[in-house]
Amino acid sequence: MGRESVLARVRQALGRRPEPAPVPPPLATSLSTPKSDSAPQVLAELFAKNLESLAGKCVAVKEISQVAPLVASLLAGKTGVASNAAFLGECGITGLPNVQSGFTDREALRAACATADAGITSADYALADTGTLVMLSSQEEARLISLLPPSHIAVFPRARLLSGLDELLEKLPLPADQSSAMVLITGPSRTADIEQILVRGVHGPGEVQAIIVG
């Protein structure tokens, strides 16, 4: 590699024209999913339908005040780790008993997630046409909360719903600028490696529950 960079500088110094950057074929906007039905209510219903077809669950609530009691009933006395997403705080989830949150230390977070029954996060976006949660790693959202515990609860405002992948990539053409890790989560973890029989929750959460607010 050192050889390459020296040569590149040599070429430059001699005024050799550098290779022009290749021009990729233009983006095919004609192939994007049509966004005609992007009324938030329609998106929410579509999202729910698609997530449920994958054995995920989805509930829509109108008021923020409904969220905490709902999550409490979902937890039913089990333990949870909540992310530092501001929205979760607004919903009062961080105040629930049996829910730990506010982790900023990687090792402590990992230890908590390794034993918690549920991970509670928000979502940066949600994609209606596939029932997908989009999460970017940040100081608000850690990676492991939606991954280690056997159950994942994602609470997000309805306004974050997008029609699908096309719209997401239009909004975020360079996801790497935002975060070191973006993940698209489409339903519970699954495998069919043995006799093609479907089993959920092999490594990631076997239960995914979305709560759409607003």
In the list 46, 68, 93, 109, the residue contacting another protein (rule: CB under 8 A) is 109
* Closest approach of another protein to the CB of residue 174, in Å: 6
Please choose, from the candidates 160, 146, 153, 158, the residue with its C-alpha nearest in 3D space to the C-alpha of residue 204: 146
CA pair distance 47, 201, nearest whole angstrom: 21
Window 129 to 168, contacts with another protein (CB under 8 A): 129-130, 132, 137-139, 142-144, 147-148, 165-166
The yes or no reply on residue 112 touching another protein (CB under 8 A) is no
Stretch that binds another protein, among 38-46, 60-68, 86-94, 182-190 (CB under 8 A): 182-190
Residues 6+ apart with CB under 8 A from 211: 58, 59, 60, 61, 67, 70, 71, 153, 154, 155, 156
CA pair distance 167, 169, nearest whole angstrom: 5
Residues 6+ apart with CB under 8 A from 108: none
Residues found near another protein in the complex (CB under 8 A): 1, 19, 21-22, 24-25, 27-28, 30-32, 84, 103-106, 109-110, 114, 129-130, 132, 137-139, 142-144, 147-148, 165-166, 169-170, 172-176, 179-197, 199, 201-205
